[in-house]
Chain A
Amino acid sequence: SQELEQSPQSLIVQEGKNLTINCTSSKTLYGLYWYKQKYGEGLIFLMMLQKGGEEKSHEKITAKLDEKKQQSSLHITASQPSHAGIYLCGADEIQGAQKLVFGQGTRLTINP
């Protein structure tokens, strides 16, 4: 089955700094999802990428899927305390799959 590796596992950055979280698979990613979770809460949908080379942005968050569709990155510009939380990448195991597999998550802390 597909495994997703997220790096780093945890990240502490100073407010205002940029940061990048990576999600890598050994297999082709047919649909790559990024979510944010705060402790004790559900997952907030951020973005979904489908095509190789695709890039999407929402406010200060940009997600990219590489041409080979095996790696995705999530980039936050000028981080704010509101960006703190756990970021999870999820992907379809196969095209048209019904269920997602998830990475282990990246815990982001923003220091004021």
Chain B
Amino acid sequence: GAVVSQHPSRVICKSGTSVKIECRSLDFQATTMFWYRQFPKQSLMLMATSNEGSKATYEQGVEKDKFLINHASLTLSTLTVTSAHPEDSSFYICSARIWQGRFSEQYFGPGTRLTVT
């Protein structure tokens, strides 16, 4: 299957600083990428959908100014958590879709664990 990478895998930052997480599709071009957040023992929560070259579509309740998403190329999307606070500590996972006609497959990155102190 296709490979999606994330960097960094773990990051610890101080409250008030910003953190950037990168998501790359390694062997395919992804017109659509997704950012999810996952709390312990819970399922994935979609934060936003990102299409290459256009503004991200955020889910209800997700602060656009807090979670900046940039999808500058067909292989790279970034999530920047601005002015991070301890409540932003979580596991962030990106995902990318490959379209094959009317159908698609969706692959996930390994995740980034963010800890805000």
State yes or no: do A and B come from one complex.
yes
Using a CB–CB cutoff of 8 Å, the interface residues on chain A facing chain B are 31, 33, 35, 40-45, 48, 50, 88, 90, 95-96, 98-100, 102-105
The distance from the CB of B8 to the nearest CB of chain A, in whole angstroms, is 14
Instruction: Check A99 against B34 for contact (C-beta < 8 Å).
Output: yes
Specify which chain A residues have a CB less than 8 angstroms from the CB of B108 in the assembled complex.
35, 42-45
A-B contact count (CB 8 A): 50
Could you tell me the distance between the alpha carbons of A29 and B4 in the complex, rounded to whole angstroms?
25
Instruction: Check A45 against B106 for contact (C-beta < 8 Å).
Output: yes
Q: Which of A31, A35, A98 contacts B32 (CB 8 A)?
A: A98
Residue of A nearest to B44 (CB): A102
Specify which chain B residues have a CB less than 8 angstroms from the CB of A102 in the assembled complex.
43-44
Specify which chain A residues have a CB less than 8 angstroms from the CB of B102 in the assembled complex.
95-96
Q: Which of A41, A48, A96, A104 contacts B105 (CB 8 A)?
A: A48
Instruction: Check A42 against B103 for contact (C-beta < 8 Å).
Output: no
Q: Which of B4, B42, B93, B104 has the most CB of A within 10 A?
A: B104
The distance from the CB of B98 to the nearest CB of chain A, in whole angstroms, is 11
Residue of A nearest to B34 (CB): A99
Chain B: interface residue total (CB-CB under 8 A): 25
Instruction: Check B49 against A98 for contact (C-beta < 8 Å).
Output: yes
Instruction: Check B104 against A41 for contact (C-beta < 8 Å).
Output: no
Prevailing SS type, chain B contact patch: strand
Residue of B nearest to A6 (CB): B43
Prevailing SS type, chain A contact patch: loop
Q: Which of A40, A45, A50 contacts B111 (CB 8 A)?
A: A40
| Contacts A88-B43, A102-B44 given; does A42 touch B104 at CB 8 Å | no
Residue of B nearest to A104 (CB): B43
15 cross-chain CB contacts under 8 A: A31-B103, A35-B108, A40-B91, A40-B113, A41-B111, A42-B4, A42-B109, A43-B44, A88-B43, A88-B44, A95-B102, A98-B49, A100-B46, A100-B106, A104-B43
Specify which chain B residues have a CB less than 8 angstroms from the CB of A100 in the assembled complex.
34, 46, 106
Instruction: Check A99 against B49 for contact (C-beta < 8 Å).
Output: yes
Q: Which of B46, B93, B97, B103 contacts A43 (CB 8 A)?
A: B93
Enumerate the 5 nearest inter-chain pairs by beta-carbon distance, A residue then B residue, closest first. A43-B108, A42-B110, A42-B111, A42-B108, A104-B43
